[in-house]
Each structure stands twice: as structure tokens, then as C-alpha cells.
Amino acid sequence: MKERGPDQRAGGGRAFAWPRALLLGLLLLTFFNMATLPLQAAEEGQVTVPEGKNSAEPAATSPTTAPGRPEALLKSYRLDSGDVLRISVDEEPDLQTEQTVNSKGKITMPMLGEVDVQGLNTAELSEKLQKLLMDGYLRHPVVRVSMAKYPDFHVHGEVRKGGRFPYQPGLTVRRAITQASGFGVFADSKRLSITRRNGSGWESIATVNLEDAILPKDIIHVPMATMQQENSDAPEMAHRIGLGDKIKITVENEPSLGVDTRVSPQGSVTLPLIGEVRILNLTAKEAEESIRQRLADGFLVNPIVSVAIAEYRVYYMYGEVKKAGGYPFQPGLTVRKAIALAEGFTDFADKKDIRVVHDDDPTFKEHKVDMNDPVFPGDVIQVTASFW
């Protein structure tokens, strides 16, 4: 028999190499799948206790999403009354249930009865239910908790259509403002704030960007803009409620308390339950807080109040315009548009000397304005005469 040469022996070795490579690949794939199972379970809001492990040990969780991302923020949402939950236990169809958190922050579970869920997130509730079920009911339950329906969020202040809107996962402040039909003419988009439910209380978030994520039940407030005139000694003016303004006031879930009325000569409005409330010279946000405090004083628990200007008071054109007098205010009004509505300048007008007195300014001081400057409700605009 001839001895095989080096090439022949090498060829024979390769004939047996591919089964070993295949076996190694299968082992690596199996190891990878086992390593990722806990991550998948954590992402679904379920908690499991492996055989032989102490249930008091922290459950595996998925890697933390980058701060500020909508999905990361949503996982931190704390359960509150009115939330609707979908709960299931693997291989236990009788325990599948859909529960609404009651006014006391509790749900009623099969086998367990009432369970306090107030202030927990879904992962924490999964772990709590698992421990309760292990105490004499099931050996190794796999509990899944998810939101069946998210509560609405709210947008108030200087938007075109304030109110409550359905929440969707991934919602940002920008998209929330879009659902409220966009910013109003006096909106200050750089000073947005959010009032957020935090367990059993509320917290205020003062610095908010348009790309920030929001949570269910968030209350987004859009303040009115301030205006700094070109003169260095001009006061900073914030639009404030004045005599003649028509105000729309709503109280969430209390339609009988809403009113649509003009500010009285005394600077007040009259509401059911609480009677007369003075709101003269208040901003919409300040008026909301004043009414909210009155309603919370023995009438309602955590009332949510919205105040909007339904119809603005008139502004006035005097001096060298063709048709002086009072005009209905229009959102987006500028000095140029106001003069056009007054049928333009007279032949004697000094187009470079236009002055305004703001109705909100207690000093009634005149300020020079440019043609593109904004006009506010109650403004008195004076076009001076030229002597040249």
C-alpha cells in the first residue's frame, strides 16, 4: 500500500473540519439566545424568578434607554387613578384581566383581591404581583403588565385650541402643541412648562424643549410672550386680562362650571360655586391658578382649570390716520396692519413718529414703535403730525 502524501493527508483533515465548525456554531447560537431571554422579558414588563433564585434579588432589566428619549420616559410613568392596565400570568388564563385603577389607587386581582398600585411603574407592579402570587398560590409565576389605555394629556395657555388630547407613546412637546392646533399669536415658545403627576402629588418642570417627551396626564402650559420695546426705558409688557375682554373658563370633567363671559367693569367674572373672582390685570395662567385655588378650597379635589381669551378688547387709532376710532383686535396684528385698517396715513402724518400707550402699563407712558411691531388688545396708537 502506498503512503499518502502531505496533500492527501491535508485533504482528509478538511473532510472532517466542517462538522466541528457546524457544532461550534450551534453551541454559540444557543448561548446567545439564552443570554437574551432575560432582556426580552424585561422589555415586555414581565418579571421571572429562575429556579433556585431568591425572589428578593433584583430582576433582570433591559439596558437603560438614553435620557430624554420618549420610550425611556414612558417606562418611568407612575400609575394613578383612572389608568387602565392589562395583566396576564403565563399558563394561567384565569388570571388574565383588565383593571382600572380606582380613586384609592388600587386594583382588584383574581386570587389576590385588592392590590395597591399607586405610584408604581409597570415593571414594579409586575414584580409586586409576582411576589404576592408566590406567597401560597403559584411556584414561579411569569407576570406581564402593560397599559391597556393611556390617560389624556392637556395643553393650556397660548395655543389655538387648548384642552385635553389622547396620549400616544412617543409623543413630544412639539407634536402635542400641533394637536392643539399650534401656538397662539402671543405664545412664548421658549418658556414652556409642564405640570406632571408624580406618585400621589404633582411636580412642575420649568425648562421644557419642543423635542422633550411627555407622559400621560402631563399638563403643558404655553405662556404669553413678553414684549421689550426698542427704547431702553420701555417697560416689559405681558399681555394681561383687561376690561372688555371676553373670557372662556373651563374646568375639566365639570362642564356645568364653565363660563363664557366678559370681564365686568369691576374687573371680575362670576362662576358657579365660588361666585365672583377678580381677574383684572392677571395673565391667563395667573387667572387659572386663582380660580383653581378657590375651587380646591372645599369644592373640588385637584381641579384642572383652563382660561382662554375668547374675544379681545378693542384697540384705538388716533392722530394722523384717515379713520380714527376703536377697532376689534385681531391675532397677529402689527402697527402696519392697524394703520391699514384705519385707511392709512393722512397727508400730514409723520410716518417715523408713531407712539403707543399699552393698556396694561400702569404708568400710561408713550413708547415709539416701528411699523412691524405687534399691537396688543387695548393699545392706544397715536400717529403724530409732521411740520415739514
Residue with cell 370633567: 253
Percent pLDDT > 70 in the chain is 76
Q: With bands split at pLDDT 50, 70 and 90, how would you rate the model's confidence at 29?
A: low
pLDDT-wise least confident of 29-33, 69-73, 104-108, 325-329: 29-33
pLDDT tens-digit profile of 165-221?
999 888 999 999 999 988 877 778 888 989 887 766 778 887 788 999 999 989 998
Give the 3-state secondary structure percentages of the chain, helix then strand then coil, rounded to 5.
Answer: 25, 30, 45
Report residue 203 as a C-alpha cell. 411636580
- Residue bearing the bigger pLDDT, 341 or 51: 341
Quick one: pLDDT at residue 166?
A: 92
Q: 260 CB contacts (<8 Å, ≥6 apart)?
A: 246, 247, 248, 249, 310
Which of 17-31, 105-119, 319-333 has the least mean pLDDT? 17-31
Half-sphere exposure of 129 (CA within 13 A, CB side): 36
Q: Rounded mean pLDDT of 144-152?
A: 90
Mean pLDDT value across residues 277-291: 90
Q: Which of 269, 275, 267 is nearest to 240 (CA)?
A: 267
Look at residue 26 in the predicted model and tell me its pLDDT: 54
337-342: average pLDDT? 93
Q: Residue 196 has what pLDDT?
A: 86
Q: What is the pLDDT of residues 291-304, one digit of tens each?
A: 999 999 989 888 88
Q: Average pLDDT of the chain?
A: 78
Cell numbers for 356? 403707543
Supply the pLDDT for residue 23. 56
Q: Is the pLDDT of residue 24 over 50?
A: yes
The confidence score (pLDDT) of residue 20 equals 58
At CB < 8 A and 24+ separation, what contacts does 173-178 make?
A: 173/208, 173/209, 173/210, 173/211, 173/212, 173/213, 173/214, 173/220, 174/210, 174/211, 176/214, 176/218, 176/220, 177/210, 177/220, 177/222
Amino acid symbol at 14:
R
The residue type of 56 is A
Quote the pLDDT of residue 270: 93
First to last CA, the chain: 127
pLDDT at 358: 86
State the greatest distance between any 2 C-alpha atoms of the chain, in Å, as a whole number. 128
Domains of the chain: 81-149 (3.30.1950.10), 153-223 (3.10.560.10), 243-311 (3.30.1950.10), 315-385 (3.10.560.10)
pLDDT of residue 19: 54
Please give the Cα distance from 327 to 338 (Å, whole number).
Answer: 9
The pLDDT value recorded for residue 21 is: 55
Distance of CA 17 to the CA centre of its chain: 61
What is the H or E stretch that residue 164 is in?
Answer: strand 163-165
- Between 234 and 87, the more confident residue is 87
* Residues written for the chain: 388
